[in-house]
Structure 1
Amino acid sequence: MDLREQRGETTDVYQPAEDSQLLADAVCDRVADGLVLEVGTGSGYVAGRIAEETNAQVVATDLNPHAVRQARDEGVEAIRADLVSPFANDSFDAVAFNPPYLPTDPDNEWDDWMERALSGGEDGRAVIDPFLETVGRVLAPDGVVYLLVSSLTGVDEVVERAGEHGFSAVAIAEESFPFETLTVLELVR
């Protein structure tokens, strides 16, 4: 049994990395209170940080049942759901999402929970596009979306798609690595 398994972590759940920290930092710097949804919570790290560092009430979702279990074990209110599907219209003051964004050749996908947490399809936007199509429904009138995007996915393309769904976008945080630049976009209507 390795250290991750001893701590109750599973190799089926996306664990916090640089992207998680960048998104959590950005959201915690901008959200003071209200009702916040984290989509695709993975380990629950981002939702946990928001709950601990702000006065917001936080709910998290993930499609992966192992992630939901781990997030709950970390004290996060988490439910199994596909994106924002189970929530009522106009419910959330803010929505945070670190989506699967790595462009992946369909011939190289391995069809397990970790791949679902990482693979964004051929262009990296296979999950981002449906998220942008549906997230507006659950946002309160003055709601804000915090979306992490990789340069590998095409930040300009994501901004354009967000615009097609009624959002204006501004980059509020960025971190560069040798192979990609991560950007947190703030989307408002």
Structure 2
Amino acid sequence: MEHNIDIDDDLANQLSFPSSTTQKVLSRIAQIKLVSGHPEVYEPCDDSFALVDALLADRINLLEHRPTVCMEVGCGSGYVITSLAIMLGQEGDGHHYFATDINPHAVRVTHETLKAHGVHAEVICDNVASGLERRLEGMVDVMVVNPPYVPTPEDEVGIHGIAAAWAGGENGRTVIDKILPIADKLLSERGWLYMVTLTANNPFQICGIMRDKGYASRIVVQRSTEEESLHVIKFWRDAVVQGEGKEPTSTNKAPSASVMNSLLSQLPWLPFWNSGS
């Protein structure tokens, strides 16, 4: 499968001449393997790799951010939360990791993926992260989400089996729209959210919804494959946005020019990293 990838000169130099620490991180992530699996657990694919590439693209900022609590919602195979833990370090470095998935088979596979690569996270069988809302309210510094985003009939959302990993309902937004308010509740004042979206999800509209909650946004990675066009968007609380005092907008309202400009101010794309690349 071909990927449309663009790398600016500065980023190309970083990848061509990485520091020894960066080189080790990239090598460990590239070598992540699934040590177990299950027919009903979503294996890493283009969207998973795009999300990890977004974290790699923002790694310097993440290290400077020094997050204490990190979380993945919908961990599936454990590839993303394992990658994040490898990038940032372990509990001894002051980091605590949580991962949730509604699929008990995914919880088991994630446990085994983490263990096989020498990292740890508390993995919980939960619908989105509703069971952690009270425990972690306002504490999550980094949240990563690869939600079910594929447009499907509504009756396929949340069904048992692997289809639940991608069935997103009308416009692929049913699960995304449930995640956004939970993310807002869990994120700390300095919390960052990284979310995978599809063009059909209307990412501009999603950014408009989050802007009404006081978040700025930026596309970190954009990737087109033969099957879909993906955007990994980073959200963070922004004092300027919060100070605008906007009234909540309808979800059908077109995004403002400021939202459009924010999205068009993109970080460079990173290449496709996985054990086979």
* Alignment partners' CA distance in 1, 2:209 and 2:158: 28
Determine which of 169, 172, 184 is the counterpart of 1:124. 172
2:87 counterpart of 1:53: yes
**C-alpha spacing 1:156/1:69, structure 2 compared with 1 (3 Å):** same
Counterpart residue identity of residue 24, structure 1: V
Match of 1:19 in 2: 47
Q: Identify the match of residue 125 of structure 2 among 51, 62, 80.
A: 80
Indicate yes or no: 2:139 matched with 1:91.
Answer: yes
Structure-2-length-normalised TM-score: 0.62
Distance in 1, Cα, partners of 2:190 & 2:146: 21
Structure 1 residue 137: deviation in Å? 1.3
Which residue of the partner structure matches residue 68 of structure 1?
Answer: 107
Question: Contact conserved, 1:97 with 1:147, CA < 8 A, in 2?
Answer: yes
1:8 matched to 2:53: no
Shift of 1:107: 6.7
Q: Could you report, residue by residue, the CA deviation over 1:36-93 in whole angstroms, capped at 9, with x for unpaired residues?
A: 1011000000000011122243221111111001000112521111222214211111
1:148 aligns with 196
Q: Please, what TM-score do these two structures have when normalized by structure 1?
A: 0.89
CA contact (8 A) 2:156 2:167 kept: no
Structure 2, unmatched stretches of 5+, are 1-33, 90-94, 115-119, 238-277
Q: Which residue in 2 is equivalent to 1:105? A: 153
Instruction: Show the counterpart of 1:3.
Output: none
Looking at structure 1, the residues matched to 38 and 157 of structure 2 have their Cα atoms a distance apart, in angstroms, of 20
Q: Is structure 2 residue 67 aligned with structure 1 residue 39?
A: no
Does the aligned pair in 2 maintain the 1:129–1:161 contact within 8 Å?
no
One-letter code aligned to 1:136: D
**Cα distance 1:134–1:74, how it changes in 2: closer, same or farther (>3 A)?**
same
Worse overlay, 63-72 or 176-185:
176-185
Answer 1 or 2: which has greater helix percent.
2
Per-residue displacement from partner, 1:157-186 (whole Å, max 9, x unpaired)?
A: 222222233322111111012332101101
Pair member with larger Rg: 2
Structure 1 letter corresponding to 2:103: N
d(CA) in 2 for partners of 1:145, 1:110? 22
What secondary structure does 2:235 align onto? strand
Which has the larger share of strand? 1
Identical aligned residues as a percent: 30
3-state DSSP of counterpart to 2:105:
helix
User: Which letter does structure 2 place at the counterpart of 1:83?
Assistant: V
Q: Read off the aligned partner of 1:22 and give its amino acid letter.
A: A
Between the two structures, name the one with larger relative contact order (CA 8 Å, sep ≥ 6). 2
> Residue 157 in 1 paired to residue 205 in 2?
yes
| Contact 1:50–1:58 under 8 Å retained in 2 | no
Whether the 8 Å contact between 2:77 and 2:110 is mirrored in structure 1 is yes
Amino acid at match of 2:206: V
Partner AA of 2:198 in structure 1: S
Say if 2:78 and 2:110, in contact at 8 Å, map to a contact too. yes
What does the per-residue CA deviation read over 1:18-43, in whole Å, with 9 as the maximum and x for residues that have no partner?
11011012124322242210110000
Tell me how many residue pairs correspond in the alignment.
184
